[in-house]
Structure 1
Amino acid sequence: MDFNLKPQERKFVEEVRAFLDAQAERPDAAEVMAPDRDAHSQLANSPERRAFNRRMAEQGYIGMSWPKEFGGQEIEGIYEYLLNEELALRGMPLIGKGVGCIGKTIIRHGSEAMKAEFLPKILAADIEFALGYSEPSSGSDLASLRLKAVRDGDEWVLNGQKVWTTSAHFADWYWVAARTDPDAPKHKGISVFLIPMDHPGLTVRETKTMGDHRTNEVFFDNVRVPADRLVGEENKGWTYVCEALDFERFTFYTVNPLLRKFERAVEALRTTNREGRPLSEDPVIRRDVARLATDLETAKMLQRRVVNEASKGRVPAVEAAMYKVFSTRLGQQLTDFVLDALGPTGLLRHGAQGAVDNGVWEHFYQTTPLDTIGGGTSEVQKNIIARRGLGLPLN
């Protein structure tokens, strides 16, 4: 693999940076830029964020790798990767699960009517999605989900519960995995549905987590769904869920924020003194910084393997799992290292007097564990690597 950017790719990055520079000058920029607050721009909703997404669509940045017949530009996936890296670096909303995991799965498996209804809205950034996978009894073991979907004439009736549904409180549509054949092996009896979030049978209840991150429980009470809201084929949903999660990991887990955190860590160590000397002069700290720098280069190479697979039209399942489990753990290790080095001052929160880098490291300490859960836990990623990458048998 040649990881050097081609001239046209470098030109694209320059164009994106110019576009984002212009966005940063807008009076509403603070509502869509959150470089100091992990994941804020993805998890919070506001009219300004939606307006920014529409400006992205008008710029032609949404769905660039989609086939032309569906409104895309049919260019290599590397351009979506480059765009997301620039967005992530500034804490701006990424191109999102609508374009990646949902849009691409509809293109591969959705009916013609579903493509006609949803793909143009995704490209125009007119709709937001929530993913309904995890349940109280099936977090890491997604295939054991119990949300029941029963066919009743021209409709499906869904009853049960989902948990950890980020975006459910503001999304327009719910991408939901449900069990449609309770007698089939657990990986075989699952189907995927698209349900409007304003359905009267849905109840959304907030769950607060660390790092000011809101997620939700969603309850289904006789939610009746027209049969044409079934995605693809009945009982083939496990395949669609796996593909969608692979696309999500590719879309969301960028490397630039990790590199930026490293730069901030070095600056914090350089400007913090202990016994009259900067922490950056301590030989033990310098050794650990060198190790982290090496691990960052590994993370970059793993992410570019994901891009390489996606750019060839393949689903980067194993590559995405390897990158996610490595990079999210590295984010925790980097934060832990900085807090250990800073000592008590590292625990001062945002806005506290004397807080290093305005308390950002205390915030990172709360948010980095969440990265190891979203899009599939680290345990799930290891299983993917073991089964699909190494060919090891199931338990």
Structure 2
Amino acid sequence: MNFDFSAAEQAFVAEVRQFIEGEAESDDAADVMNPNRESDSILSDTPARKRFNRKMAERGYIGMSWPKEYGGQARPGIYEYLLNEELSRVGAPLIGKGVGCVGQTLIRHGSDKLKAEFLPKILRAEVEFALGYTEPGAGSDLASLKLKAERQGEGWLLNGQKMFTTSAHFADWYWLAARTDPSAKKHKGISLFLVPMDDPGITIHPIETLGEHVTNQVFIDNVWVHEDYLVGEVNKGWTYICEALDYERFTFYTFSPLEEKFNALLSLVKSIRRNGKMISEEATVQSRMARLATDVETAKMLQRRVIYAASQGDVPSIEAAMCKLFSTELHQRLSRAALDFLGEEGLLHKSCDDAPAGGKWEWSYRATALDTIGAGTSEIQKNIIARKRLELPLEY
């Protein structure tokens, strides 16, 4: 198993870093590059961040893996992973779901009309999408979704509810999964639609999370969608959703935020003096930091296994589950260690002038709890590992 990047890939990383260094001098860099937002930093949810994405588009960084006939460069997916690794290192927005699950699905299954309308906009970073999958009773078991799509004239009438739609409050279009055949087996009766977010039948209720990030509850009331905006074939939506997860393998599992957080924790430990001496001299602190350093290297290897398996054309479901479980819980352990080292001062909110590191660690501890839930809870990841790797029976 070779984890080394080629000379061409390393040259691309150097190019991206030079681009980021130049953008770090811009007036709105503090908005664009904000790792303290944790996983929420991947979003293009402000004007400055959208401008940044358009600059990436101008450099040809958007849609690199797309076929040339659709405006891409036909590069291997590893280049999109390397790009997102560097972007996530500084807390900049990633290239987004428009390039992956939306764009790639349209390329493979979309009509000529949908390709002509959306692919150029995605390549120019002119459009944002929200993924309408999760529902109140269909989270980890996505195939149980109930939002109805009923035939009406030359289109479909949609009614139902979605939960935890991260980008709904700023997206332009809804990539919406709906049940088009309630009599079919639950995986067989799902279809995908593209719906404008400004439709009068769509009501968005923001939900502020523990980490102060915004997700959304979305109500769909008598929203009519022309059949032209059905993605692919009727009742094939589940297949498309699963394929879309494959497209995202190279971009979901970035390691650099963990590395940067550990380095920040190490700097913190070297700066704290208590009872007349540096806490870095204490054996218990040294032992804990050594354990965390080992865990960070473990997370790196788990992440590399995902990338390697995907690059070989495999479906790294087990590797991805291990990586997601270990990495998200490690983010929590790093933040918890910082709060323990800081003592009661570490509990100060970022709004307090005296908060250490601007309140970074207290904020991080709250925000990273959400990462152990989103994209499949830690419990779900354990079930995947137990069932697929250990071949253990699961009882419910």
Q: TM-score, normalised by structure 1?
A: 0.93
Cα 1:36/1:390, change in 2 over 3 Å: same
Contact 1:266 1:280 in 2 (8 A): no
> In the alignment, residue 363 of structure 1 is paired with which amino acid?
W
Contact 1:179 1:191 in 2 (8 A): yes
Measure, in 1, the Cα distance between the counterparts of 2:383 and 2:233: 26
Partner of 1:49: 49
Do the aligned partners of 2:41 and 2:91 also contact (CA within 8 Å) in 1? Answer: yes
**SS class of match (2:182):** coil
Once residues 390 and 229 of structure 1 are traced to their aligned partners in structure 2, the CA distance between those partners, rounded to angstroms, is: 42
**CA deviation after TM superposition for structure 1 residue 372, in Å:** 1.9
> What secondary structure, in the 3-state scheme, does the structure 1 residue paired with 2:211 have?
helix
* Residue in structure 2 matched with residue 280 of structure 1 by the alignment: 280
Give the CA deviation at 1:116: 2.6
SS at match of 1:118: helix
Give the superposition deviation at 1:120.
Answer: 1.8
- The 3 A distance-change label for structure 1 pair 164 and 380 is same
The one-letter amino acid of 1:178's match is A
Q: CA RMSD in A?
A: 2.1
Bigger CA drift: 219-228 or 298-307?
298-307
CA distance in 1, matches of 2:231, 2:386: 29
Cα displacement (A) at 1:40: 4.4
Partner of 2:121: 121
Q: In structure 2, what is the equivalent of residue 298 of structure 1?
A: 298
Deviations 1:312-337 (A, max 9, x none): 45554433333222211111122122
CA contact (8 A) 2:346 2:356 kept: yes
Identity percentage of aligned residues: 62
Cα–Cα, structure 1 residues 366 and 44, in superposed 2: closer, same or farther, change >3 Å?
farther
Contact 1:43 1:213 in 2 (8 A): no
Would you say the 8 A contact 1:156–1:227 is kept in 2? yes
2: CA distance, partners of 1:382 / 1:276:
44
- Farther-moved stretch of structure 1 (271-280 vs 216-225): 271-280
| C-alpha displacement of 1:263 | 0.6
Structure 1 Cα separation of the partners of residues 96 and 225 of structure 2? 25
Residue type of the alignment partner of 1:368: T
Match of 2:143 in 1: 143
Aligned to 2:12: 12
Tell me the residue number matched to 2:243: 243
User: Residue 118 of structure 2: SS of its match in structure 1?
Assistant: helix
Q: Deviations over 1:140-194 (max 9, x none)?
A: 2212111111122321111010010111011011011111111222222211111
Amino acid at match of 1:188: K
Show the 5 A alignment for 1:294-373: 294-373=294-373
SS for the counterpart of 1:205 is strand
Matches for 1:60-209 after TM superposition, within 5 Å? 60-209=60-209
Q: Which sections of structure 2, spanning at least 5 residues, go unmatched?
A: none
Farther-moved stretch of structure 1 (40-49 vs 85-94): 40-49
The AA in structure 1 aligned to 2:181 is D
Structure 2 CA distance, aligned partners of 1:173 and 1:118? 10
Q: Is the 8 A contact 1:201 1:223 kept in 2?
A: yes
C-alpha displacement of 1:353: 4.5
Aligned pair 1:267/2:282, yes or no?
no
Secondary structure of the structure 1 residue equivalent to 2:352: coil
Contact kept, 8 Å, 1:133 with 1:162, in 2: the verdict is yes
3-state DSSP of counterpart to 2:326: helix
Query: 2: distance between equivalents of 1:351 and 1:268?
Result: 20
